[in-house]
């Protein structure tokens, strides 16, 4: 597993209090999310962060992190290249 | 009929990791640390257990037994969040759910057929959280707990009080909750190797060997218990607050152990203040490299919740033990005999209002920016804590306050009037 920690553009759906990413762009490629395998939250101080472990349609594994404070998305880890 | 179901998640941390990254399915996953560290195994997947890897084993030993295993330090936030989801799913059956730990819960539910109830719970967890659980079902909470381990993984056992003699007594005595290796060895010296032997032991034998524990053990072996399912909103308040840490290497210097105490006392004090309690007893726990463990405590004239007070007492306790000479592997601090703080608290003669205000400011910063925002320089210099990457290190004084600042969040306003350090 490789640590990335890079900002990424994510298309996500906010629906009835739930957040679900379904597509993101990284390294000039667009990745379509086939399945969110895990979702969890933590806090850094008072700021909430939502984590998503996802499998793409190409069967690659990524972890995305959404910062509620400023609506930033970070690609935190991936199995690509590991 | 009212049933108690003990829901025990199978290889919980490892299963959560395998669910998070499906490429790990079928692989020996070992959660607790990576080779080269002195951590211990928190959970091993069933694939890793086939190589003899067990919870509590050192990572070094686990690596010797299973060098091709996938070792990972674990993700506490993920496990806790998943745990909350599991408990929420169990509450769809009944509101009477008592979480027993991060991966166990008791569920008290009315049902005609316990097997059908168990199957419904298991399939519901399979479908919603995609994790496997083993169940113990009984008309007694204690027997539910004991029986959940009889058929793992993804198994189910129904053990009624009336079936204890047939189903529980032939089993080895260590299936009883609270009977570890030492108690088992003592019982075997007495010729008591099965649960039935303990249940039928002559009066006085268990008491002489185990003290007060003997009578309660006999009751449990007979399937008699006084346990009740207690959902969180009916539970009594916490009795103690503690933190402990296994060190990367043994410490032989008093100052180095005190530095670790500084860090732990900060965590204990902050939790005590968060829950508005203070403790009248401070207990220091130390373990050496041969796994000899001591707990040394002191009852105080007045309850404490301030980091510095807890730290001062912990250092005094440490000085009384001279334990660092043996090499310290684990350090722990616990605050016990908790009393509520707040209005009406007794002030002591050495009460320092400036220190209390400085503590309040530190708490404000920590609550806003996280545990690592303010770290005593001593801890920062110790190296181990430095890897936890504190954002900023500085000394706060009583007259310093936290001031909102547009666009930045907050800055620390020094008593003298000028900003010296800005928080991230």
The answer to whether the CB of B98 falls within 8 A of the CB of B232 is: yes
Interface check B265 vs A, CB under 8 A: no
Compute φ and ψ for B343, nearest 5 degrees: -60, 140
Compute φ and ψ for A54, nearest 5 degrees: -130, 150
Identify the pLDDT of residue B30.
96
The answer to whether the CB of B126 falls within 8 A of the CB of B112 is: no
Q: Do A44 and B370 touch (CB under 8 A)?
A: yes
Whether residue B400 is contained in a domain is answered as yes
Identify the pLDDT of residue B66.
96
Residue A81 has pLDDT above 80, yes or no: no
Residue numbers in chain B where pLDDT is lower than 50:
343-344, 384-424
Measured between alpha carbons, how far is residue B64 from residues B47, B51, B57, B171 in Å? 15, 10, 11, 32
Are B414 and B319 in the same domain?
no
Are B104 and B143 in the same domain?
yes
Domain ranges of chain A: 2-78
- Among the three residues B289, B317, B340, which one is the final residue of a domain in this structure? B340
Residues 6+ apart with CB under 8 A from B274: none
B370: DSSP letter: -
Distance of CA B256 to the CA centre of its chain: 24
Identify the pLDDT of residue B113.
94
Identify the pLDDT of residue B109.
93
- Which residues of chain B from 58 to 87 reach within 8 Å of chain A, CB to CB? 75, 77-78, 80-82
Are B153 and B6 in the same domain?
yes
Are B18 and B152 in the same domain?
yes
Please list the active-site residues of B. Answer: 104
Question: What rounded mean pLDDT belongs to chain B?
Answer: 84
Whether residue B226 is contained in a domain is answered as no
Measured between alpha carbons, how far is residue B289 from residues B182, B246, B254, B325 in Å? 20, 11, 16, 11
- Residues of chain A contacting residue B82, judged by C-beta atoms under 8 Å apart: 38, 40
Whether residue B370 is contained in a domain is answered as yes
| Domain residue limits at B41 | 2-158
Whether residue B176 is contained in a domain is answered as yes
How far does the CA of residue B366 sit from the closest CA of chain A (Å)? 6
Interface check B389 vs A, CB under 8 A: no
How many structural domains is chain B composed of? 4
SS (H, E, C) B46-68: HHHHCCCCCCCCEHHHHHHHCCC
Are B9 and B141 in the same domain?
yes
- Among the three residues B318, B340, B362, which one is the final residue of a domain in this structure? B340
* Structure token digits, residue B218: 């006999």
The answer to whether the CB of A10 falls within 8 A of the CB of A64 is: yes
Q: What is the pLDDT of residues B127-152, one digit of tens each?
A: 999 999 999 999 999 999 999 999 98
Residues 6+ apart with CB under 8 A from B133: B7, B8, B9, B10, B121, B122, B125, B154
* Structure token digits, residue B247: 């060190």
Whether residue B66 is contained in a domain is answered as yes
Handedness of CA B411, B414, B420, B421 (dihedral sign): negative
The residue to which tokens 């009977």 are assigned: B179
- Which of A37, A44, A79 comes nearest B19 by C-beta? A37
Q: Which parts of B102-235 are beta strand (E)?
A: 104-110, 133-138, 156-158
Mean pLDDT calculated for residue range A5-12: 95
The answer to whether the CB of B380 falls within 8 A of the CB of B354 is: no
Q: Do A37 and B22 touch (CB under 8 A)?
A: yes
Are B252 and B387 in the same domain?
no
CATH number, domain with residue B305? 3.30.1490.100
ipTM of the prediction: 0.86
Measured between alpha carbons, how far is residue B216 from residues B106, B224, B389 in Å? 21, 9, 48
- Which of A45, A51, A61 comes nearest B23 by C-beta? A61
CATH number, domain with residue B138? 3.30.70.270
Are B130 and B256 in the same domain?
no
Whether residue B18 is contained in a domain is answered as yes
The answer to whether the CB of B137 falls within 8 A of the CB of B117 is: yes
The answer to whether the CB of B157 falls within 8 A of the CB of B18 is: no
Interface test with A, best of B17, B78, B270 (most A CBs within 10 A): B78
- A-B CB pairs within 8 A amount to 43
Q: What is the pLDDT of residues B147-181, one digit of tens each?
A: 999 998 999 999 999 999 999 999 999 999 888 88
Are B191 and B147 in the same domain?
no
Residue A54 has pLDDT above 90, yes or no: yes
Interface check B95 vs A, CB under 8 A: no
CATH number, domain with residue B194? 1.10.150.20
Q: At what angle do helices B353-369 and B254-274 cross, to 10 degrees?
A: 80
Whether residue B235 is contained in a domain is answered as no
Whether residue B366 is contained in a domain is answered as yes
Identify the pLDDT of residue A82.
55
Identify the pLDDT of residue B420.
36
């Amino acid at each position: 597993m490789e640590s990335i920690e890079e900002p990424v553009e994510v298309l996500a759906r906010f629906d009835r209090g739930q957040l679900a990413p379904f597509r993101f762009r990284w390294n000039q490629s667009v990745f379509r999310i086939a399945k969110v395998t895990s979702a969890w939250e933590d806090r850094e101080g008072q700021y909430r962060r939502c984590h998503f472990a996802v499998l793409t349609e190409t069967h690659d594994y990524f972890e995305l992190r959404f910062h509620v404070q400023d609506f930033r998305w970070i690609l935190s880890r991936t199995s690509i290249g590991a | 009929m009212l049933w108690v179901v003990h829901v025990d998640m199978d290889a919980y941390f490892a299963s959560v990791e395998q669910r998070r990254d499906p490429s790990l399915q079928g692989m020996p996953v070992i959660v607790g640390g990576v080779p080269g560290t002195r951590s211990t195994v928190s959970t091993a997947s069933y694939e890793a257990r086939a190589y003899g890897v067990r919870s509590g084993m050192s990572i070094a030993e686990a690596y010797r037994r299973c060098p091709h295993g996938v070792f990972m330090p674990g993700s506490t936030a993920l496990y806790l969040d998943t745990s909350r989801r599991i408990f929420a799913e169990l509450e769809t059956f009944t509101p009477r759910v008592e979480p027993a730990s991060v991966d166990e819960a008791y569920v008290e539910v009315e049902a005609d057929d316990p097997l059908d109830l168990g199957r419904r719970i298991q399939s519901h967890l399979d479908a919603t959280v995609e994790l496997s659980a083993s169940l113990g079902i009984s008309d007694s909470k204690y027997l539910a707990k004991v029986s959940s381990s009889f058929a793992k993984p993804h198994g189910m056992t129904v053990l009624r009080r009336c079936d204890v003699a047939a189903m529980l007594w032939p089993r080895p005595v260590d299936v009883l909750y609270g009977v570890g290796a030492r108690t088992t060895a003592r019982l075997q010296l007495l010729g008591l190797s099965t649960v039935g032997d303990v249940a039928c032991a002559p009066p006085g034998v268990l008491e002489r060997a185990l003290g007060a524990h003997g009578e309660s053990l006999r009751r449990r072996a007979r399937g008699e218990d006084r346990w009740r399912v207690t959902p969180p909103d009916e539970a009594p308040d916490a009795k103690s607050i503690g933190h402990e840490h296994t060190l990367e290497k043994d410490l032989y210097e008093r100052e180095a152990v005190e530095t670790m105490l500084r860090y732990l006392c900060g965590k204990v004090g902050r939790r005590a203040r968060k829950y508005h309690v203070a403790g009248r007893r401070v207990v220091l726990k130390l373990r050496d490299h041969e796994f000899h463990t001591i707990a040394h405590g002191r009852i105080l004239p007045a309850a404490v919740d301030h980091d510095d007070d807890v730290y001062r007492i912990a250092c005094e306790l440490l000085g009384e033990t001279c334990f660092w000479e043996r090499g310290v592997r684990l350090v722990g601090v616990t605050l016990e005999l908790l009393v509520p703080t707040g209005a009406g608290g007794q002030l002591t003669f050495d009460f320092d209002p400036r220190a209390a205000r400085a503590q309040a400011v530190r708490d404000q910063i920590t609550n806003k920016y996280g545990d690592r925002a303010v770290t005593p320089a001593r801890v920062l210099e110790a190296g181990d804590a430095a890897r936890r990457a504190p954002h900023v290190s500085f000394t706060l004084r009583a007259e310093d306050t936290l001031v909102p600042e547009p666009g930045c969040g907050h800055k620390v306003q020094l008593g003298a009037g000028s900003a010296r350090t800005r928080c991230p």
